[in-house]
Structures are given as structure tokens and as C-alpha cells.
A and B are shown apart, each in its own frame.
Chain A
Amino acid sequence: MYKISKNLKTLSFVLMAVGILSLAFGFMTTPSSVEDVKHQMEQHNNHDADVVEHSEADADHAVVKVNDHHDEAHAEHVFTQMKNRPWAAFYVSALFFFFLALGAMAFMAIQYVAQAGWSVVLLRVMEAISSYMIVGGIIVFLILVAGGLHMHHVFHWMDASLVDPLSANYDPIIDGKSGYLNVPFFLIRIAVYMAGWILAYFLLGKYSTEQETSGDNKPYNKAFKASAIFMVFYGVTSSTGAWDMVMSVDPHWFSTLFGWYVFSGMFVSAIATIALVTIYLKSQGYLEFVNPSHIHDLGKFMFGLSIFWTYLWFSQFMLYWYANIPEEVTYYLARFADYKIPFWTMVAINFAFPVLVLMDANKKKFPLTMVITGVVIIIGHYLDVFVMIMPGSVGSHWGFGIVEIGSFLGFLGLFIYIVFTSLEKKGLLAKGHPMLKESEHYHYYNLEHGDDH
């Protein structure tokens, strides 16, 4: 049985405290009224003429100094964006860590469906990571509910005046989508996705516990069926969920590939997480049955899926660049205007780093290379989520400060606490699994294990 170490527990609590404090700081430092914003802007104007540059970059801001009325509207716009910032930072981290758990869940289900033999020794790790889905899912859902209650405007389309033909803000494009993008239907959809995903987690967990004591393979077969059904559900909802939770932040924009793109990112970062947790546990003397071949296989997945992610990124980016249709390229123009550094950084580190480091077959079995690559992949894909959410919610008023880093650390603490406490609940070896022996004996043919022979 695994017991979470005291240090790790303390660390997770410290991280959570940092998260809460920095979030509180974030909410306190946002301007409380439009007047504040105007005041700040005036000061800003006095300091330098930066605003002019912004006005060129950001179409929304193109009319900064034209007249009083526009000034007013602009200030209000800026006010909304600045008020969104702590919420958006909170949401990016909440979503990212939820995706880690969901991706691990999908990976686990695929192992069942594909009847994979090698990965059985890692089953408990996957289960523990998926267990974060419950808390993580509830937090994400609450943030979305808060949006529906107009506590924040990360989701611009939730503003009722946009779909009111009589309003000055009326937006016919968003109104055209209101059959799909409306708050009640949106929340119902999210609730259904979450319920389905979490239910599947409970079922797979239950069957794998039953399999430990059951003499036959009945629970295993049930888990197989449950995984197949989950994969169908997930196959659809991973796309629709990505449209709802991520793509609708930019409500005018659309891309058919988007769902699969988000999936590939969440999948590769989830596998990196599995590798990191496994290597940590092994360094603590647990998981004695995990051998270098298993780590090597996780490395192969990280390598292959990093290329797959880049492939999808390229397909989407290149096709929009090539055709150059205004309503499509706006998405990337917004990112080029204000997010150039995080955008290109994340492309570079999500592609080049894992590909170059993990290409050599022998490198993939070394814990140190795997840890470094895993951390880089996780940071890279956090940045990916960051660049997907931020431009639509805070525009040019983004930063990478206390609130962003703090909320990432806070969720990291929560994630560590939940994952490692749920590891305590079951044995680390999925006993009774029909493929267990295959997994324990697994030795990739041209890999030196070092400890044998």
C-alpha cells in the first residue's frame, strides 16, 4: 500500500495556499469601476503614447481618442477585459488540470479497448490521475455557472444584449448561433459531458477493484465494454466539449479541426503526467514491477503524440494562412497582435523539444530525460490552453503575473493532493488483471534494462 509522504502533503497544501492568496490578490487589484479604468488610462496616456500602437493592433480599440462617447465605450470594454483577467487565469488552470485527468481517463479506456498488455502495471496510476476529474470537473463547471450568472465575461457571448435585435450591441453572427450558444443549453451540455466522463471513471475504478478478488474475468470484461461505450461518448464529447469550453471563447470564430486539436494536446500532456507520477513513485521505491521498457513506451507515446499534435496544429494554421479568409484569420491575427511570444514559444517547445530529445530510442528509458521532457510538455500545453483562452477574454490586457502563476500552482497543489491520496486507496498493482503477467514480463526487445542479465 502506498502512503503519501509528509513532504508531498505539505507541498500540496503550500501550493494550494499560494493559489488562493494569489487569486485573492488578483481579484483585489482589478479595477472596481469604469472610473478607475479611465483614471488608469489617462495616466497611461500621459506616460507614453502606447495606446496608439494598441489601436492599430486591436480592431476593437481602433477609436481610442476619437470622441467622448467612444472613450466611454472603450473604457468600459477595457474594464470588462481587466475584470476578466483573474477569472480567465483561474479558468485556464482549472481547465488545463481537468484536461490532464480527462486525458488520462481516455488513455486508460484505450488500454482496455485495445486489450493492451504492457500498460497494466500503470493502471493504478492512470486511475489515480483520472480521479481528479471529480473535483476538477466541479470547479470548471462552477466557473462556467459563474459566467452564466454574469460574474465574469470570459464567455463574451453570454451577454444577453448581443442577441437582442433592439440593443445597440446586437451581434447578428452571435445571434445566429444562439440556438446552440445559450446559457441554459450550454450548462446542460457541460453537465452531461462531465456526468458521462465521471461515471465512466467510477465504473472502471469499480471493475478494477472487483477484478482483484474475482476468480474469473467478468469484471475485466465489463470494464472492456464500459471503456468501449466511454470511447464512443468521449469521441463525440471531446470535440463538442472543446467547442463549448474553449472555442466559444472566440464566439465568431470556428474551425472544424478544433475538437481534435484540443484532444491531441490534452492527450499528450496526460501521458506526460502519467510518466511523471510513475517516475516519482518509482524514485520513492514503489512500483517495483515497472521496468525501463514501460517508461520507454510512455516516452514513445509522448514522442509520437507530440508530432501528432504538431500535425494538427499545422493543418489548422497552414490552411487558414493559405486561404487567408478574413473571418478565419482573425483568430491568428489576435494572437499575433498581442500574444506573439507565448504563441511561438508554445509551438516551439511542444514540437521541437520532445521530438529532438526523445528521438533516440535509448534516451526514452532514462528517468531524467523523461522528467525534463514531461515538465516541458506540460508547461507547453498549459501555454497552449493559455493562448486559446486569453485573447478572447482579456484581449491585450494580459500578463503573466502573480495571478496566472499563482492559480497554476494552486491547481497543481490540488492535483497532487487528490492524485496521491487516491493512490493510497488501492494497491499499486492491479492484481487479478488477466494481462498482468504479460505486463510484468514486458521487455522491449532491443532495450537494455541494466538490472537483468
Chain B
Amino acid sequence: MSKKLIHGLFDDDDILMDGVKAVRQKGYEIDEVYTPFPIHGLDKAMGLKPTRIAYASFAYGVFGLLFASWLTWYMMISDWPQNIGGKPNQTWLQNMLAFTPIMFELTVFMAAHLMVWTYFFKNKLYPGQKAGNPDPRTTDDMFMMEFIFEGDSTELESILKESGAVEVNVKEIKDTTGNQLWFKIPKTAVVLIFALSSLTSCSSSDEPQREPNTVYMPDMYYSVAYEPYSADPNGVDGMEARIPADNTIKRGYVPYEIPDTNEGYQEALDSLKSPIATTDETLKKGEYLYNIYCISCHGINGDGQGKLVQNEKYLGVPSYAPSRLPNITEGSIFHVETYGKNMMGSHASQLTSQERWKVAQHVLKLRSQLK
């Protein structure tokens, strides 16, 4: 016996609900209901299970949170720690406040997008999919119950009519050639993607620019007033800036007169002494600063095995150990902190001279613990 497709059409959602209940009471299973809008309670009346898509979304959100935590940890702590704003930068937890926005955004991003993808996937919705409703009126103002029925359907038809269906259609199902590919990429999409990718792959030429660009912030370059170090016909010595009075220093600055030369280095090594005594307090401060400004290269023990060295971002950072650097003193350490040496840059703009002395104390302490 062939199968029949029975469609009961209703013109009101409340009548439909009563109809669904009536049909189910008589022991018929409804195969599908098509409605133009969501009807609260219809899923329960039809005996559908509640959807679990919200739990999926929760799982995606957890994934997003973990992913963001890993991303920030890997990039900012593990692979290439950076000293930002003089804040401790070696542990993730200490910087977590700054990562919280990213963690939040990625949680929402994953929870929302992956959930919607799941929704499309489960509903088999994609561009190019054929309209799934058998009657176009079900997106307008008609509600339809669908049965795929085998056998005598007169009772069902009469139940439908009794419960207020405005139309009952019965159709024989003839062709049931299955195995249709449910997912088919439309040709237009392929063409579009191809066109887009060929457009974007046009690279710019390597020709050098003939004219310089317009200057960004012109009055930074071309000041109305005389530039501090420019010529000035009205100035003393024909110069805009005045030479400061002898022995002038800027406020709070402690002059450091040893020059940045090999001789200077030797002089600092031999004769420069710290003006501050080593106490527990200065050592503690020195350690604190070291662990922000030096640790990434020199390592927590001063063995030259900081994260950047371990990750091979920089090489050749020496250990402070007497065996490796037999000839260093607090004076030479201070000198190097002030001017930098080889790959190492100057830290004079980041640390005051007092702070540099304290760091030097800590470096010596580390050195004494190394072999």
C-alpha cells in the first residue's frame, strides 16, 4: 500500500493548538507542523523534546574563555613577555585584569557564533536550500499539520475537519528516490569566492614612491615659533636655545659624568661606588624592579636564561656567575644599566639612578648565589 501525505490547514493558532491536542489524544502521531510564527507550547503539545542548544552554547562559551586565556597567556606571558607600564609581567594572573575584556569578548564570540552555526546545521539551513514548507501560505497566515500516513485515513481527516481545519488535502506519495545530496554548494557562491579571491590577490607593485607623503601633524615638523635648536638671527650666538648656566641639572636628576666609552666602563668598574647602603629594604625593592625590567632576558636567577632567551628571541645574554663574568662590580653594573651594552639598551629613562643602584644590589646578590 502506498503512503499518503495528509495536510490539514488551519487559519488560527489557537484552533491549531486544540487540533494538535485532539489528534494526539486519538493516538495519531503528527509528523510536522508548519507555522508562520513561533507558538508557545506547541512543541510540548506535539511531544517534542526541549532543545539543548543553550547547553551547546554554554560549552562553546567555555571554549572561548579557555581559548582567550590561552591566547593571552601564550602571547603575553609565555612567548614574548613585555614590560608594559612598569607592571609585573611574568605571570598571567597579575595581568589578568587587562586580559579580562578579551576573555569576555571571545567567550561571547564563540558562544554566539558557534551556537548559530549549530542552529543552521541542525535545521539544515543554508543559502541555496530549497524551501521546506509544502504550502507557501504557511509563512503568511496559515498553519499546517502534516502526516505521512499509511492505510485508511478517513478517521484522521474527519478529526482534522472537526477540530477546525479549513482545508484537508490528501496526496499520494509517488516518487521516493532518496539519496539526495542534502548539502549542495550553489555555483554562484563558487564563482563569487573565486572572483573575490582573484581580486584580492592583486598585489601592489614594489616601485619606490616618487613623492613623500603629506606630513602627519605638520606643525610638529614646521613650527611657527623657532625650533629649540634652530638658527635664530635675534638670539644670543645666533641660536634659538640658550646654553644653560654652568652646572645646571634638571630637577631630581643625579648627574652621571662617566662617559659611555670603554674607558668609562673601566672607570666605573674600578672606582664607582654605590651612594646607598644595602639593606633588606633596598634589596627587596631591587628585586621587585629586577623582576619587571630585567627578568625577561636575564632570568629570575640572573643566569641569562630569561624567557626571551629560552624562546630564542634574543641570544647571548650572559649569566652573572663569577665564572662567566669574573669582572663585574656594582659600579660596572650601574654603568651598564645607565648606558646599555651590546644588545642591551639603556634603562636610564625607565629607572631613576636610585632605582638602578637598587637593581645593581640585587644583581650582585644573584651573582653571589650563582656558580
Contact = CB atoms under 8 A, between A and B. Distances in A.
Direct contact of A and B (CB under 8 A): yes
Interface of A: 314, 317-318, 321-322, 324, 359, 361, 445-446
Nearest to B51: A446
Contacts of A317: 97
Interface size bracket, B side: 10 to 19
A445 B87 CA distance: 50
B97 A359 contact: no
A318 B97 contact: yes
B100 A322 contact: no
B217 interface: no
B1 interface: no
Contact of B41 (A324, A359, A445): A445
B58 A321 contact: no
B85 interface: yes
B40 A445 contact: yes
A369 B58 CA distance: 20
Q: Which 7 residue pairs of A and B lie closest in terms of their CB atoms, listed nearest first?
A: A445-B40, A318-B97, A321-B97, A314-B100, A322-B98, A318-B100, A324-B85
A359 B58 contact: yes
A321 B40 CA distance: 48
18 contacts: A314-B97, A314-B100, A317-B97, A318-B97, A318-B98, A318-B100, A321-B97, A322-B85, A322-B97, A322-B98, A324-B85, A324-B87, A359-B58, A361-B54, A445-B40, A445-B41, A446-B40, A446-B50
Nearest to B54: A361
A365 to B, nearest CB: 15
Contacts, number: 18
Interface in B15-41: 40-41
Nearest to A56: B281
A361 B53 CA distance: 13
A317 B98 CA distance: 11
A445 B45 CA distance: 13
Nearest to B61: A359
Nearest to A445: B40
A359 B58 CA distance: 10
Given A318-B100, A322-B85, A359-B58, 6 more contacts: A314-B97, A314-B100, A317-B97, A324-B85, A445-B40, A446-B40
Contacts of A318: 97-98, 100
Contacts of A324: 85, 87
Interface in B75-115: 85, 87, 97-98, 100
Nearest to A314: B100
A1 B58 CA distance: 45
Contacts of B87: 324
A153 to B, nearest CB: 32
A302 B94 CA distance: 30
Interface string B134-176: 0000000000000000000000000000000000000000000
Contacts of A314: 97, 100
Contacts of B58: 359
A361 B97 CA distance: 29
Contacts of A446: 40, 50
A322 B41 CA distance: 50
A395 to B, nearest CB: 22
